[in-house]
A and B are shown apart, each in its own frame.
Chain A
Amino acid sequence: MRNPKRAEKIAFFFLFLATLLIVVPVGLIVVIIIQKGSPAINWQFLTDIPRQGMRAGGILPAIVGTVYLVLGAIIFALPIGVLSAVYLSEYAKDNFLTRIIKLAIINLAGVPSVVYGLFGLALFVVFFRFGASILSGSLTLGIMILPIIITTSREALESVPYSFREVSRSLGASKWQSISSIVLPNAISGILTGTILGLGRAAGETAPILFTVAAFYLPQLPSSIFHQAMALPYHLYVISTQVPNVDEKIRYGTALVLLALVLFMNLVAIIIRYKFRKKKKW
C-alpha cells in the first residue's frame, strides 16, 4: 500500500461497514417489534389470562412464569457459579486436569439448548421425580447458564491484580479473608456482567423449558414451584405456529413484552453493577 491516507480511508470504510451491518438488523428487529407489537399492549394484555383459545385476553401467566423461571435459574446458578469460579481461579492448582475442566466449562456454554432440555427431562423430571414443574425448568435453565456465569466470574476474578492478594496475605490475612474482603468485592461488577448475559439467555430460551416446565395453556397462575407454568418464549412459539388465526399484533405484542422484560431485568443488574463500580476505589 503506497498511499497511507488511502489505506486509512479504506480501512475506515470496512470497519464502519461491519459495524453498520450489525447495528442495522438489530435496530430493524427492535423497530418492527415495537411497531407491530405496541398496538396490542394495554392493561388487559398484561394482566389477564389468555382467552378464546389464546386469540384474545392477556398473557399474564406467561409473564409470571418467565419471571419465576429466570429468578429460579439465577438463584440456583449464581451462588454455585461464583463459588466454583472462586475455587477454579483461586484454589485449584494449575495442572492438566484443571485446564481440561476450565476448557470443558467454556465449551459447555456452546452446547445447544435442546440438549440441556433433554438432560433436564432425564434428570429432574424423571429421575428426581420433580415432574414438569417450575423447579425442573429453573434447574435446567440454571445448568444451562452456569458455564456463562462461571467463565465470566473467573475472568472477573483474574482481572483483580495479583498484587492485592499478595499484599493482603503479607498483612497476615488468610487466603479466604483475602478473597472475601479484597478479591470478590473488586470482581463483583464483572460477575454481574456474566449474570446479565445468563439472565437474558434464560429468559429467551424455549428448548430447555419445552420438556421440563412449559404448559401449552393454563388458565391460572402457578401457585407452587412443583406446578407447570406458561412461559413467554414457548407461548410465542405456540401462538405463532400451533394455534391458527392468532392476530399478528398479539404475537408481536408477546415478543415485545419478552424483550421489555429481559431489558428490565438487565437494567436492574446494570444499576446494581453501577452502584458497586462507584464504590470501587481504584
Chain B
Amino acid sequence: MNSMPASYIWFIPLLPFAGFLINGTLGRRLPRVVVSSVALFFTAVPAALVAWLWATMCTASAPSSVDSVIRPYGYDWINITGLHVDFAFTVDHLTLIMLAVVTGVGFLIHIYSVGYMAHEEGYWRFFAYLNLFMFFMSVLVLAANFLLLFVGWEGVGLCSYLLIGFYFKKTSAAVAGKKAFIVNRVGDFGFLLAMFLLIVHFGSLSFKEVFATLAQNPEWQQQGAHFLPAIALLLLLGAAGKSAQIPLYIWLPDAMEGPTPVSALIHAATMVTAGVYMVARCHPLFDSSPLALTVVAVIGAATAIVAASIGMVQHDIKRVLAYSTISQLGYMFLACGMGAYAAGIFHLLTHAFFKALLFLAAGSVIHALSGEQDMRNMGGLWRKIPVTFWTMTAGVFAIAGIPPFAGFFSKDEILYRTFTSSNPLHIVLWLVGLLTAGLTSFYMYRLWFKTFFGEQRTKQSGDGYPHSVHESSWIMLLPLVILAVLSVIGGWIGIPAALGGNNGIEHFLDPVFANSAANEAVTASGHGLELVLALISVLVAVAGFYFAYLFYYEKPGTASALAQHNPATYKLVKNKYMVDELYSAFLITPLLMFTRGVLELMVDQGLVNGSGAVAGATTRGLAWITRKQISGNIRSYAGWLAIGAAAVITAMVFGDALKGLL
C-alpha cells in the first residue's frame, strides 16, 4: 500500500468538524437516519485514515515522526515579534496509539449511540457535539506545540460541558456541566502559566524546540533551575484537572449526569486520559525534575486508592465506574511518575477498551431496565440480557487484573515498574498500587454480582417486570462485542519477556521514550522477580473476587452488617470523604461571602462610590447651581455645558482672528 501523504493528517480532525457543521446547522431539520449517517461517516473516514497512517508509519523505512504544517492564509496562527505559533501537527508512535484509541473507540461509541439515543430529544444536537468532540480530541493528540494542544484541551472541555449538560432541563445536569468546566479551568490556569514560563525560558511553544533546548542545556538541571520543576508542576495541575486527579477529581463523578455513551467516550476512554498523554508527551520536562516526578507518582497513587475506596460503597452503577476511572487514571499517573511512560500509555490503551466496554455495557443494562441505575434495584439479570452479561464479564475480568485479560498485563507492568523503580518511595507506592488492585477487583465483582446474580430486585414497572427487561438492539451490541474481544486480547501486545512475550508496546514506543532515564534501569533486573510480583498481584485480584463473592453472593448482608459495625468510617467513605463539602465550606462559601460583604458592600459601594463622596458632593453642589439657573433640567444643563465648551473652544481657536478684528 502507498504511504499516506502527510497533508492527509489534516482530514483526521477536519472531517468530524465538517460533520459537526452539517449536523449543528441543518441537523434540526434532517431526519434521524441522515443525522446519524453523517455523524458515522465523518468519524469512520478518519478511523480509516488512522489505519492507513498506522500502516505507513510501521513500514521498516518510515521516519520516527511525520510533521505537517498548514498556513491557510499565508501566515502562522499567531505571529508577532518574538513569538510564532503554527497550526502544526506531528505524528509519532505515541500519537498513533492515541489516534487509534480516539478514532477507533470513538467510532464504536458513535455506532452504539445510534441505538442508545434513538428515542431521545435533541438527537442532532447530540451527534453534532459528539463530532465536535472528535475534532478537538484529534487536534489534542496531533498537536505539535503546546498551544495547539491547549486548543484541543479546552475544546474537549467545552464538549464535555455541553454533553454533561445535554439534558439541560435537569438542574443536576446543568450544574454538573458547569462544575466540570470550572474545575477544569482551575487546571487550565496551571497549564497557561506553564506555557507563559515556557515562552519566557525557551522562547518557543513547539514540542521539538522546547525539548531540544532542554537537551542542549543540561546545566539547568544540574544547577537546579527553579523554572523546570515550576513548569512541570504547573503542567501537572493542568493534567490533574483534565484527568480528574487529586485535588481536582471532584467533577468526574458528577459528570455521569451525561448520557452513557458520553461517559464511555469522554469520561472514560479518551478525554480524561488527555492528562496522562500530556505528561507522557512532555516527559523530558518531567524527567528533568525528580521532584515533579515524585509528585506525579504520589498524586497518582493517592488518587488511585482514594477513588477505589469510594467506589466500593457506591450504589449507582455509573458512579462506581466513574470512581473506577479516576482510580485507574491514578495508576497511569503512578506509572508516569515512575518514569515508566510506556507502561502508563499501555494501561491507557487497555483501559480505553475495557472501561468503554464497561460503560457501554452498563448503558445497555440501564437501557434494559428503562433508566434504572441503582444496583440495589438490579440483580439476576444474566439470563435476561446474556450478550450484555457476557461482554461485561470480559470487561470486569479485564479491569480486575485476571490473566490473560487485557488489564492484567498493563496493570502488572505498572506495579512491576513501581517496585523496581529507584524512587525512594517505591515500596510504599507499590503497596498502595497493590492494595488498589485488590479494591478494584472487589468493587468490580461487587458490581458484577449485584447486577447480574442473586435475586431479582427490580422494581415492578407498570406492565410487569418480565416484559420490561429487554436485550438491546444489535447496533448497541456490536460495539460491545468488539470491545469485549479487545478487552480479552488487547493486553497481548505487551506481554512481558518474563511471561514469554516480547514487550511489544514498549518497543513500539521506544522512539518516543528512548531518552527517558528510567527506561534503561529496568531491563537489568531478572525475570524471576517479575514473575513473583505478577503472582502476587493475581492473588490479590482473586482475593478481591473472593470477598465480593462472599459479601454479595454467598452471604448477602455481610456488607451492610460490616457497615453497621463501623458506621463512622462507612459514612465518611459513603460521603466521598466530604471533599465537595470541604471545598464548599472552606473555599467557595468564604470567597462568595468575602465578595458580597467586603468587596461589594465595603469596597464598591463604600470606597469606590464613596471616593466618589468627593465627586458626589461636587455633583450635588453643581446640581444645586444648575437647578438654580436652569431649573434642574439635565438636558438643558448638558446643553449649556456643550454650548459653553463650544464657546471656549471657538474663542481659543479663533482667538487670533478675533484679536485681529478688534
Partners in one complex: no
